[in-house]
Structure 1
Amino acid sequence: MPLNIRLARVEDAPLLPAVERSAAQSFIHHHGLEWIAQGPVMSTAEHLAFIDQGHEWVLVDPHDQPQGFLCATPSGADLFVHELSVAQHVQGQGHGRRLINTACQWAREHDFQGLTLTTFAQVPWNAPFYARLGFALLTEQQLSPALHQQLTREQLQGLTGRCAMRLDLQPLP
């Protein structure tokens, strides 16, 4: 079934927590991170804030029902990916890559220099996935103050083994 990507709309917001919950089920089989499958997800209100700013994209099925999303926020010269989630039943089909590419295209068009994110360093569908897309692992010295604060917040929430990554965005020709 063909899935399309578009900007998220207000009516999508109440449906997106379920998409994130579905995506989180992949953690059930990852030792030490099983709790994420039942842990907190973004609220409808949080999604509405990203939608209001025009910084959330959704992956929709032929019935226009969300199957994935990416939300981001400007952070200095970079666009920070706050969350990328793809419903479990459509994972592994390149949709996460498509959502990242959509955010990259938008970021380039709006003169951002890079795409940044935080993720689990050792989870196969996290840091290794982003590395295959061209993201580079950032050292402690390379962290912006915002990324340092983000990693600190995540650690306080019990998210250990996290890292920050950045994709340098080359200007469009």
Structure 2
Amino acid sequence: MPTTLRCARDDDADLLPAIERSAAQAFLACEGLQWIASEEVLSAAQHRAFIAAGHSWVVVDEQDRPQGFLCGQACGEDWHIVELSVARALQGRGQGRRLIATVSAWAQAQGFTGLTLTTFASVPWNAPFYARQGFEWLDAQSCSDFLQRQLAAEQAHGLTDRCAMRLKLQGAS
């Protein structure tokens, strides 16, 4: 299935929660994390806010229907990935890597020095995937105040085995 990558548009917002729900079905195979498959996802209204800010990208199929997305926000010198989801049927085909590469280039052009995210440390398509893309694990001392608050909020929500990671952008010191 050929795909294209573009900035998300307002009319995409209603379709993006279903993609995140589809992506979350992969957690059904993870012992102790199956509950994530039925958790709340970002709402269409939240997606519209990311889209309005110019902070959302989508992978679309031949009919221009979104099949994956990445959205985030500025956090000081870094740009934080809030969510990266690819529809279950397209997972493992390089779409996540394409989204990360596009956002990395965009963030670097905007003057950000790195990309950050929080993710599961032990789930194969989480921290190990991001490590293969060049992200490095951050210890507690290396985490920004934002990342420390984010990890604490995730733990309070019942998410364990979480870590923060950062990708240093080319040319950044």
Q: What TM-score range do you get, normalising by the shorter chain? A: over 0.9
Q: What is the TM-score with the length of structure 1 in the denominator? A: 0.98
Residue in 2 aligned with 1:30? 30
User: What is the distance in 2 between the residues matched to 1:162 and 1:118?
Assistant: 7
Partner of 2:93: 93
1:9 matched to 2:9? The reply is yes
What is the TM-score when the length of structure 2 is the normalising length?
0.98
Q: Partner of 2:124: helix, strand, or coil?
A: coil
Q: Residue type of the partner of 1:99?
A: L
2:68 counterpart residue number: 68
Q: Which amino acid aligns with 1:58?
A: V
Q: Deviations over 1:17-49 (max 9, x none)?
A: 000000000000100100010111000010001
Structure 2: 5+ residue runs without aligned partners?
A: none
Find out whether 1:130 has 2:136 as its counterpart: no
Q: Secondary structure at the match of 2:15?
A: helix
Sequence identity, in percent? 59
**Alpha-carbon separation, structure 2, partners of 1:60 and 1:33:** 28
Letter in 2 for 1:77: E
Q: Deviations over 1:44-71 (max 9, x none)?
A: 0100010010000001001000000000
Runs of 4+ with deviation above 3 angstroms? none
* Corresponding residue pairs, total: 172
Structure 1: 5+ residue stretches without partners: none
Return the offset for 1:171.
2.7
Residue identity opposite 2:101 in structure 1: N
